[in-house]
Chain A
Amino acid sequence: MKYLLTALLLSLSATPLLACETVQLGSLEISEAWSRASIGMARPGAFYVTIRNTGATDDALAGIATPVSGKPMLHETVVKDGVASMPHAPAIPVPADSTVQLEPGGYHGMLMGLTQVLKEGETFPVTLTFREAGDVTVPVAIRGMGAKDAGCVDKKD
Protein backbone atom coordinates (compact mmCIF):
# COMPACT_ATOMS: atom_id res chain seq x y z
CA MET A 1 0.00 0.00 0.00
CA LYS A 2 2.74 2.36 1.02
CA TYR A 3 4.66 1.34 -2.09
CA LEU A 4 1.61 2.00 -4.22
CA LEU A 5 1.23 5.45 -2.72
CA THR A 6 4.88 6.24 -3.40
CA ALA A 7 4.50 5.02 -6.97
CA LEU A 8 1.40 7.16 -7.35
CA LEU A 9 3.18 10.23 -6.01
CA LEU A 10 6.12 9.58 -8.31
CA SER A 11 3.87 9.21 -11.33
CA LEU A 12 2.10 12.40 -10.36
CA SER A 13 5.36 14.27 -10.12
CA ALA A 14 6.06 13.22 -13.70
CA THR A 15 3.12 15.23 -15.01
CA PRO A 16 3.70 18.85 -16.03
CA LEU A 17 0.79 19.98 -13.87
CA LEU A 18 2.98 20.53 -10.84
CA ALA A 19 5.31 22.78 -12.77
CA CYS A 20 2.45 25.20 -13.31
CA GLU A 21 2.04 25.67 -9.61
CA THR A 22 3.61 28.69 -8.00
CA VAL A 23 6.47 28.06 -5.57
CA GLN A 24 6.94 30.65 -2.84
CA LEU A 25 10.30 31.77 -1.44
CA GLY A 26 9.89 34.69 0.94
CA SER A 27 8.36 37.43 -1.16
CA LEU A 28 9.29 35.71 -4.42
CA GLU A 29 6.76 33.72 -6.42
CA ILE A 30 8.26 31.35 -8.95
CA SER A 31 6.00 29.91 -11.62
CA GLU A 32 5.81 28.62 -15.20
CA ALA A 33 9.16 26.84 -15.19
CA TRP A 34 9.59 25.01 -18.48
CA SER A 35 12.05 23.69 -20.99
CA ARG A 36 11.94 22.06 -24.42
CA ALA A 37 12.41 18.40 -25.23
CA SER A 38 15.87 17.54 -26.52
CA ILE A 39 17.12 15.19 -29.21
CA GLY A 40 19.84 13.28 -27.42
CA MET A 41 22.21 15.12 -25.12
CA ALA A 42 24.64 16.75 -27.56
CA ARG A 43 22.92 20.13 -27.77
CA PRO A 44 22.20 22.53 -24.92
CA GLY A 45 18.71 23.05 -23.57
CA ALA A 46 17.08 26.25 -22.38
CA PHE A 47 15.25 26.88 -19.14
CA TYR A 48 12.50 29.47 -18.74
CA VAL A 49 10.63 30.68 -15.65
CA THR A 50 8.57 33.56 -14.30
CA ILE A 51 9.70 35.27 -11.08
CA ARG A 52 7.48 37.72 -9.28
CA ASN A 53 8.88 39.82 -6.47
CA THR A 54 6.01 41.03 -4.29
CA GLY A 55 8.33 42.46 -1.65
CA ALA A 56 9.95 45.85 -1.15
CA THR A 57 13.54 44.60 -1.55
CA ASP A 58 15.37 44.24 -4.83
CA ASP A 59 16.72 40.79 -5.49
CA ALA A 60 18.60 39.07 -8.30
CA LEU A 61 18.79 35.58 -9.71
CA ALA A 62 22.49 34.79 -9.38
CA GLY A 63 22.63 31.24 -10.67
CA ILE A 64 20.91 27.95 -11.38
CA ALA A 65 21.77 24.33 -10.75
CA THR A 66 20.15 21.15 -12.01
CA PRO A 67 21.07 17.47 -12.18
CA VAL A 68 20.23 17.43 -15.92
CA SER A 69 23.05 19.82 -16.85
CA GLY A 70 26.75 19.66 -16.13
CA LYS A 71 27.12 23.35 -16.93
CA PRO A 72 24.01 25.43 -16.37
CA MET A 73 24.42 29.16 -16.87
CA LEU A 74 22.34 32.30 -17.16
CA HIS A 75 22.28 33.84 -20.63
CA GLU A 76 20.55 36.73 -22.28
CA THR A 77 19.56 36.68 -25.92
CA VAL A 78 20.20 40.08 -27.42
CA VAL A 79 18.90 40.95 -30.87
CA LYS A 80 20.58 44.09 -32.13
CA ASP A 81 20.15 45.32 -35.70
CA GLY A 82 18.64 41.95 -36.52
CA VAL A 83 21.66 40.02 -35.25
CA ALA A 84 21.10 37.63 -32.34
CA SER A 85 23.77 36.81 -29.80
CA MET A 86 23.64 35.13 -26.41
CA PRO A 87 26.00 36.66 -23.86
CA HIS A 88 26.40 35.27 -20.35
CA ALA A 89 24.30 37.17 -17.79
CA PRO A 90 26.17 37.32 -14.46
CA ALA A 91 22.82 37.85 -12.69
CA ILE A 92 19.24 38.66 -13.60
CA PRO A 93 17.78 41.58 -11.63
CA VAL A 94 14.46 40.93 -9.89
CA PRO A 95 13.51 44.42 -8.65
CA ALA A 96 11.04 44.97 -5.84
CA ASP A 97 7.39 44.85 -6.82
CA SER A 98 7.97 43.53 -10.32
CA THR A 99 7.81 40.41 -12.47
CA VAL A 100 10.75 39.11 -14.45
CA GLN A 101 10.40 36.48 -17.13
CA LEU A 102 13.02 34.18 -18.49
CA GLU A 103 11.42 33.62 -21.88
CA PRO A 104 12.27 32.89 -25.53
CA GLY A 105 14.22 35.76 -27.03
CA GLY A 106 15.34 37.12 -23.65
CA TYR A 107 16.90 35.77 -20.49
CA HIS A 108 17.21 32.00 -20.26
CA GLY A 109 18.98 29.33 -18.34
CA MET A 110 21.40 27.69 -20.75
CA LEU A 111 21.60 24.00 -19.90
CA MET A 112 24.92 22.85 -21.33
CA GLY A 113 26.31 19.36 -21.01
CA LEU A 114 22.96 17.60 -20.66
CA THR A 115 23.25 14.51 -18.48
CA GLN A 116 19.97 13.06 -19.71
CA VAL A 117 17.58 13.35 -22.60
CA LEU A 118 14.80 15.84 -21.88
CA LYS A 119 11.58 14.00 -22.70
CA GLU A 120 8.35 15.81 -23.40
CA GLY A 121 5.83 15.42 -20.59
CA GLU A 122 8.42 14.75 -17.89
CA THR A 123 9.80 17.17 -15.33
CA PHE A 124 13.20 17.88 -13.81
CA PRO A 125 14.24 20.03 -10.86
CA VAL A 126 16.11 23.33 -11.11
CA THR A 127 17.49 25.10 -8.06
CA LEU A 128 17.43 28.88 -8.35
CA THR A 129 19.87 30.88 -6.24
CA PHE A 130 18.82 34.41 -5.35
CA ARG A 131 21.18 36.97 -3.83
CA GLU A 132 18.79 37.91 -1.05
CA ALA A 133 16.17 35.19 -0.78
CA GLY A 134 18.51 32.22 -1.10
CA ASP A 135 17.79 28.90 -2.79
CA VAL A 136 14.61 27.32 -4.01
CA THR A 137 14.02 24.22 -6.12
CA VAL A 138 11.22 24.17 -8.66
CA PRO A 139 9.89 21.45 -10.98
CA VAL A 140 10.42 22.23 -14.66
CA ALA A 141 7.92 20.98 -17.25
CA ILE A 142 9.49 19.56 -20.41
CA ARG A 143 7.40 20.64 -23.35
CA GLY A 144 7.63 19.82 -27.07
CA MET A 145 10.50 21.13 -29.19
CA GLY A 146 8.22 23.69 -30.80
CA ALA A 147 6.76 25.03 -27.54
CA LYS A 148 6.81 28.77 -26.92
CA ASP A 149 5.64 28.91 -23.32
CA ALA A 150 4.94 26.82 -20.24
CA GLY A 151 1.49 25.92 -21.52
CA CYS A 152 -0.08 26.49 -18.12
CA VAL A 153 -3.85 26.78 -18.21
CA ASP A 154 -4.22 29.82 -16.02
CA LYS A 155 -1.32 32.08 -16.84
CA LYS A 156 -0.17 34.33 -14.03
CA ASP A 157 1.37 37.67 -14.84
Chain B
Amino acid sequence: MRLKVLQKMLWAAVALAIPAYGALHLLDERAETPVAEVSFRPTFSLLDAEGRVRMPSDFAGKHLLVFFGFTNCPDVCPTTLAEVAQVMEGLGDDAGKVQPLFISIDPTRDRGLELAEYTAAFHPSILGLAGDEAQTRAAAGSFRIFYEREDSSGAPDGYTMAHSASLYLIGPDGNWLRQFSYGTPASEIMNDLKQRL
Protein backbone atom coordinates (compact mmCIF):
# COMPACT_ATOMS: atom_id res chain seq x y z
CA MET B 1 0.00 0.00 0.00
CA ARG B 2 2.72 2.41 0.98
CA LEU B 3 4.63 1.52 -2.15
CA LYS B 4 1.63 2.42 -4.25
CA VAL B 5 1.50 5.88 -2.69
CA LEU B 6 5.20 6.30 -3.28
CA GLN B 7 4.78 5.17 -6.88
CA LYS B 8 2.01 7.67 -7.43
CA MET B 9 4.15 10.39 -5.98
CA LEU B 10 7.03 9.44 -8.21
CA TRP B 11 4.85 9.43 -11.30
CA ALA B 12 3.47 12.80 -10.33
CA ALA B 13 6.99 14.09 -9.96
CA VAL B 14 7.88 12.78 -13.41
CA ALA B 15 4.74 14.30 -14.89
CA LEU B 16 5.74 17.66 -13.45
CA ALA B 17 9.35 17.35 -14.40
CA ILE B 18 8.86 16.59 -18.09
CA PRO B 19 7.16 19.86 -19.07
CA ALA B 20 9.47 21.77 -16.73
CA TYR B 21 12.49 20.22 -18.45
CA GLY B 22 10.96 20.96 -21.82
CA ALA B 23 10.34 24.59 -20.92
CA LEU B 24 13.87 24.98 -19.64
CA HIS B 25 15.23 23.44 -22.76
CA LEU B 26 13.16 25.71 -24.97
CA LEU B 27 14.31 28.77 -23.08
CA ASP B 28 17.84 27.53 -23.44
CA GLU B 29 17.50 27.21 -27.16
CA ARG B 30 15.97 30.61 -27.62
CA ALA B 31 18.67 32.29 -25.59
CA GLU B 32 21.75 30.27 -26.35
CA THR B 33 21.86 27.32 -28.69
CA PRO B 34 21.36 27.77 -32.38
CA VAL B 35 19.23 25.03 -33.89
CA ALA B 36 18.74 24.28 -37.54
CA GLU B 37 15.44 26.12 -37.90
CA VAL B 38 16.61 29.35 -36.27
CA SER B 39 20.02 29.37 -37.87
CA PHE B 40 20.31 31.75 -40.78
CA ARG B 41 23.00 33.62 -42.62
CA PRO B 42 22.82 37.36 -42.22
CA THR B 43 24.42 39.28 -45.03
CA PHE B 44 25.43 42.84 -45.81
CA SER B 45 27.15 44.91 -48.41
CA LEU B 46 28.20 48.20 -46.85
CA LEU B 47 30.91 50.81 -47.21
CA ASP B 48 33.75 51.24 -44.75
CA ALA B 49 35.37 54.61 -44.04
CA GLU B 50 37.68 54.24 -47.04
CA GLY B 51 34.75 53.69 -49.36
CA ARG B 52 35.41 49.98 -49.88
CA VAL B 53 32.44 47.61 -50.05
CA ARG B 54 32.61 45.14 -47.18
CA MET B 55 30.73 41.84 -47.14
CA PRO B 56 30.60 38.83 -44.81
CA SER B 57 32.95 36.91 -47.13
CA ASP B 58 35.67 39.48 -46.31
CA PHE B 59 35.68 38.12 -42.79
CA ALA B 60 35.34 34.39 -43.52
CA GLY B 61 36.87 32.27 -40.78
CA LYS B 62 36.32 34.93 -38.13
CA HIS B 63 33.53 35.40 -35.66
CA LEU B 64 31.66 38.66 -36.21
CA LEU B 65 30.40 40.65 -33.24
CA VAL B 66 27.91 43.07 -34.75
CA PHE B 67 26.22 46.14 -33.30
CA PHE B 68 23.75 48.37 -35.11
CA GLY B 69 23.78 51.95 -33.90
CA PHE B 70 24.40 55.58 -34.76
CA THR B 71 26.98 58.03 -33.54
CA ASN B 72 24.51 60.71 -32.41
CA CYS B 73 23.53 58.20 -29.73
CA PRO B 74 25.42 59.30 -26.60
CA ASP B 75 24.10 56.71 -24.17
CA VAL B 76 23.40 53.17 -25.41
CA CYS B 77 25.96 53.15 -28.26
CA PRO B 78 29.07 54.25 -26.32
CA THR B 79 28.10 51.92 -23.49
CA THR B 80 27.90 48.93 -25.83
CA LEU B 81 31.03 49.85 -27.78
CA ALA B 82 32.86 50.15 -24.46
CA GLU B 83 31.72 46.60 -23.68
CA VAL B 84 32.98 45.43 -27.06
CA ALA B 85 36.34 47.12 -26.39
CA GLN B 86 36.55 45.35 -23.04
CA VAL B 87 35.75 42.01 -24.70
CA MET B 88 38.45 42.53 -27.34
CA GLU B 89 41.01 43.44 -24.69
CA GLY B 90 40.04 40.43 -22.61
CA LEU B 91 40.36 37.99 -25.51
CA GLY B 92 44.10 38.58 -25.68
CA ASP B 93 45.70 36.38 -28.34
CA ASP B 94 42.29 35.23 -29.56
CA ALA B 95 41.20 38.77 -30.39
CA GLY B 96 42.33 38.31 -34.00
CA LYS B 97 39.66 35.64 -34.45
CA VAL B 98 36.87 38.13 -33.77
CA GLN B 99 35.92 41.10 -35.95
CA PRO B 100 33.69 43.65 -34.21
CA LEU B 101 31.47 45.63 -36.59
CA PHE B 102 29.53 48.83 -35.94
CA ILE B 103 26.84 49.15 -38.60
CA SER B 104 25.33 52.60 -38.81
CA ILE B 105 21.55 52.75 -39.07
CA ASP B 106 21.88 56.50 -39.59
CA PRO B 107 24.38 56.21 -42.44
CA THR B 108 23.93 59.51 -44.21
CA ARG B 109 24.63 61.55 -41.11
CA ASP B 110 27.34 59.19 -39.84
CA ARG B 111 29.31 59.17 -43.08
CA GLY B 112 29.87 62.88 -42.62
CA LEU B 113 30.97 62.41 -39.02
CA GLU B 114 34.24 60.49 -39.29
CA LEU B 115 32.82 57.11 -38.35
CA ALA B 116 36.29 55.52 -38.28
CA GLU B 117 37.57 58.02 -35.74
CA TYR B 118 34.52 57.33 -33.60
CA THR B 119 34.87 53.54 -33.58
CA ALA B 120 38.65 53.71 -33.09
CA ALA B 121 38.14 55.83 -29.98
CA PHE B 122 36.65 52.73 -28.36
CA HIS B 123 38.90 50.07 -29.84
CA PRO B 124 41.07 50.03 -32.97
CA SER B 125 39.65 46.65 -34.02
CA ILE B 126 36.07 47.94 -34.39
CA LEU B 127 35.18 48.49 -38.04
CA GLY B 128 32.49 51.06 -38.75
CA LEU B 129 30.27 50.47 -41.78
CA ALA B 130 27.81 52.89 -43.33
CA GLY B 131 26.06 52.07 -46.58
CA ASP B 132 23.28 53.91 -48.34
CA GLU B 133 19.68 53.73 -47.16
CA ALA B 134 18.80 50.69 -49.24
CA GLN B 135 21.93 48.74 -48.29
CA THR B 136 21.30 49.53 -44.63
CA ARG B 137 17.67 48.37 -44.85
CA ALA B 138 18.83 45.17 -46.50
CA ALA B 139 21.50 44.49 -43.88
CA ALA B 140 19.08 45.11 -41.01
CA GLY B 141 16.50 42.89 -42.66
CA SER B 142 18.93 40.02 -43.03
CA PHE B 143 19.95 40.31 -39.37
CA ARG B 144 16.23 40.50 -38.51
CA ILE B 145 16.77 43.66 -36.50
CA PHE B 146 14.63 46.76 -36.20
CA TYR B 147 15.40 50.42 -36.64
CA GLU B 148 13.28 53.44 -37.29
CA ARG B 149 13.75 57.17 -37.63
CA GLU B 150 11.77 59.16 -35.08
CA ASP B 151 11.20 62.86 -35.56
CA SER B 152 11.82 64.71 -32.32
CA SER B 153 12.37 68.36 -31.49
CA GLY B 154 14.42 67.13 -28.53
CA ALA B 155 17.09 65.53 -30.70
CA PRO B 156 20.02 66.79 -32.79
CA ASP B 157 18.90 67.72 -36.35
CA GLY B 158 15.31 67.11 -35.27
CA TYR B 159 15.39 63.34 -35.33
CA THR B 160 16.66 60.33 -33.46
CA MET B 161 16.83 56.63 -34.23
CA ALA B 162 15.15 53.79 -32.36
CA HIS B 163 17.14 50.62 -32.94
CA SER B 164 17.73 47.04 -31.77
CA ALA B 165 20.45 47.41 -29.18
CA SER B 166 21.72 43.84 -28.90
CA LEU B 167 25.08 42.51 -30.03
CA TYR B 168 24.89 39.76 -32.65
CA LEU B 169 27.37 36.96 -32.98
CA ILE B 170 27.99 35.41 -36.39
CA GLY B 171 30.08 32.27 -36.71
CA PRO B 172 33.14 31.80 -38.93
CA ASP B 173 30.91 30.01 -41.47
CA GLY B 174 28.61 33.04 -41.66
CA ASN B 175 25.79 31.49 -39.66
CA TRP B 176 23.96 33.46 -36.99
CA LEU B 177 24.93 32.08 -33.58
CA ARG B 178 23.26 34.17 -30.92
CA GLN B 179 22.59 37.63 -29.58
CA PHE B 180 23.64 39.36 -26.38
CA SER B 181 20.93 41.68 -25.16
CA TYR B 182 21.76 45.26 -24.22
CA GLY B 183 23.55 45.42 -20.88
CA THR B 184 25.10 41.93 -21.02
CA PRO B 185 28.34 42.29 -19.05
CA ALA B 186 31.54 42.14 -21.09
CA SER B 187 32.75 39.23 -18.96
CA GLU B 188 29.75 37.13 -20.01
CA ILE B 189 30.29 37.88 -23.70
CA MET B 190 33.98 37.11 -23.34
CA ASN B 191 33.38 33.78 -21.65
CA ASP B 192 30.93 32.78 -24.36
CA LEU B 193 33.41 33.71 -27.08
CA LYS B 194 36.33 31.98 -25.38
CA GLN B 195 34.45 28.69 -25.47
CA ARG B 196 33.92 29.03 -29.20
CA LEU B 197 37.41 30.17 -30.27
Q: Decide: A42 and B122 in contact? CB cutoff 8 A.
A: no
Within 8 A of A (CB), among B98-128: 113-114, 117-118, 121-123
Within 8 A of B (CB), among A62-82: 73, 75, 77, 79, 82
Instruction: Count residues on chain A whose CB falls below 8 Å from chain B CBs.
Output: 30
Contact with A along B70-83 (1 / 0, CB 8 A): 01111110110110
Question: Which residues in B have their C-beta under 8 angstroms from that of A75?
Answer: 75, 154
Q: Decide: B74 and A36 in contact? CB cutoff 8 A.
A: yes
The stretch of A24-32, A92-100, A106-114 that contacts the partner chain: A106-114
Contact with B along A31-59 (1 / 0, CB 8 A): 00000100110111110000000000000
Q: Decide: A73 and B78 in contact? CB cutoff 8 A.
A: no
Q: Decide: B165 and A79 in contact? CB cutoff 8 A.
A: yes
Within 8 A of B (CB), among A90-143: 104-105, 108, 110-113
Q: Decide: A86 and B75 in contact? CB cutoff 8 A.
A: yes
Q: Decide: A44 and B166 in contact? CB cutoff 8 A.
A: no
Q: Which of A39, A45, A105 contacts B76 (CB 8 A)?
A: A105
Given A82-B164, A145-B121, residue A88 in contact with residue B154 (CB < 8 A): yes
Q: Tell me if B39 is interfacial: C-beta within 8 Å of chain A.
A: no
Question: Which residues in A have their C-beta under 8 angstroms from that of B72?
Answer: 43-44
Question: Which residues in B have their C-beta under 8 angstroms from that of A88?
Answer: 152, 154
Q: Decide: B122 and A145 in contact? CB cutoff 8 A.
A: yes
Question: Which residues in B have their C-beta under 8 angstroms from that of A46?
Answer: 74-75, 78
Offer 6 A-B interface pairs, CB within 8 angstroms, sorted by A.
Answer: A79-B182, A79-B183, A82-B166, A86-B160, A110-B154, A113-B156
Which 8 residue pairs of A and B lie closest in terms of their CB atoms, listed nearest first? A146-B82, A84-B165, A88-B154, A85-B162, A46-B74, A104-B79, A84-B76, A145-B121
A residues near B (Cβ < 8 Å) are 36, 39-40, 42-46, 73, 75, 77, 79, 82-88, 104-105, 108, 110-113, 145-148
